[in-house]
Amino acid sequence: MISYDEQLLSDLRKVYSDKLGEFLSSLSRPPSRYYVRVNLLRTSREEVRRLLESDGVEVYYDELFEEALWIPVRGPVELEEPKCKVFVDKRTAESVMLGANVYAPGIVKLEKCADVGRKVGIVSTSGVLVAVGIVSPGFREAIRNRRGLVVRTLESLYSVPSLRDTKAYKAGMIYEQSLPSMVVTHVLSPRAGMKIVDMCAAPGGKIGHVYELNKGKGVFIAIDHSSRKITRMKQEFARLGYTSINIIRGDSRYVDLFLGKEVADYVILDPPCSSIGVIPKIYDKRTIDGIKNYADYQRQFLRSAYDLLKPGGILVYSTCTTTYLENEANIEYAVNVLGYEVLEATPIRGSRGVGPLGKYLQRFHPHIHGTPGYFIAKLQKPYK
Ligand code: SAH
């Protein structure tokens, strides 16, 4: 159920033209492959495949990236609707749809019939049946304490094996990351020993990937303004065995004020966005005004990144959304107003972008590539 206002639809039509309908309906399906990244600092992909298989997970090697493995996403299956239902919020519904269990914070409403051992339908507040499960023995206590398992999922619309309990995950050998997100690091492909700043870093997937590919050689700075997300990122980096990424809490719109001017060789800029490319979606409701607010916010980071970069320094800009305004239009602004030069965002694993700079840019489309919707651009601050 996608509800975008007419102006947002016409923005998206600049990208999808007569395929807009196909694109919008692809948003309700998950990617066809679930990607994980192998921590090459610790192990090899052969070892990870062996370990995951010993935990019953079917894995394949990516065709190009040595560190990328994928797991097939199963589904959709036809679910038989049980008489009794529990209602969950949007975020919960979107993960239960792939096989996750239901925990107390995600519950919106339980029908009276829901009791220990009862088979229930798990339904989004918008009315979509996403899975069938069994009410857990401790559900009353879980609800009272607002934490703990409420429904164990038996069968979901789609399924991806849960990796958190695998030996490879616990040993810090894998990180769950989509293919387009991994492409960002390959587009950046920084030389070892350089200073690299991720301006919007949490949960840390991209800066971690760069750190691994450069074997920890260089100066790595991960900034985020959310202290909650910084705490989680620290835990993740500990699990993965990263010892020398500097984590800073700060507002990157003013990054040059706390890191200095012309100090970074490379910048990763993956700012907050409207997330239209994040799939599967149960529903989504947005207006052009919301998109414009994001685009304005993103431009502020493009401005401060310009001051942060050394002359000749490289910036990779990425988003998990698909509007023209947050993507191509922002790159046009970066080039025409701020003075960046645009470079080709290669290697290309998706398609080119659109508009006057389209041939330099890279996009991923759910209905074409079976991935989340994504955008990647590579910019350079000119030498003086
Ligand atoms: N690059 C990350 C994902 C980034 S999501 C990865 O690949 O794993 C965007 C992040 O930007 C969020 O974590 C959010 O907390 C952060 N953020 C939002 N506004 C910010 C600001 N003004 N300064 C720094 N970080 C900000």
225 alpha carbon to ligand 1 midpoint, in Å? 7
Local confidence band at 259 (pLDDT 50, 70, 90 cut-offs) = very high
Query: Does 200 participate in catalysis according to the annotation?
Result: no
pLDDT value for 308: 98
Helical spans, DSSP H, in 171-284: 179-188, 205-213, 227-240, 255-259
Ligand 1 atom with least separation from CA of 206 = 7
Pocket test for ligand 1, best of 178, 212, 224 (most atoms within 8 A of CB): 224
List C-alpha distances in Å: 10 to 6, 139, 347: 6, 46, 30
**Which pLDDT does position 272 carry in this prediction?**
98
Q: Looking at residues 60-88, what average pLDDT do you find?
A: 97
Q: Which two tokens stand for residue 365?
A: 């489309």
Ligand 1 pocket, residue 202 CB under 6 Å: yes
pLDDT at 81 over 90: no
Tell me, what's the pLDDT at 346?
Answer: 98
pTM above 0.95, yes or no: yes
| 384 pLDDT more than 90 | no
What is the reported pLDDT for 262?
Answer: 98
pLDDT confidence band for 147 (50 / 70 / 90): very high
The protein residue whose alpha carbon is closest to atom 15 in ligand 1 is: 226
pLDDT at 155: 97
Q: What is the pLDDT of residue 48?
A: 98
pLDDT at 87: 98
To the nearest whole number, what is the mean pLDDT of the chain? 97
Would you state the pLDDT for residue 202? 98
Number of other CB atoms surrounding residue 296 within 10 Å: 12
- Evaluate: CB of 272 within 6 angstroms of ligand 1: yes
Instruction: Band the pLDDT of 228: cuts 50, 70, 90.
Output: very high
Q: Do 207 and 264 meet the contact criterion of CB atoms below 8 Å apart?
A: no
CA of 136 to the centre of ligand 1 (A): 36
Q: What is the pLDDT of residues 336-368, one digit of tens each?
A: 999 999 999 999 999 999 999 999 999 999 999
Residue 146 in contact with residue 135, Cβ under 8 Å? no
Closest CA relative to residue 72, chosen from 57, 50, 91, 54: 57
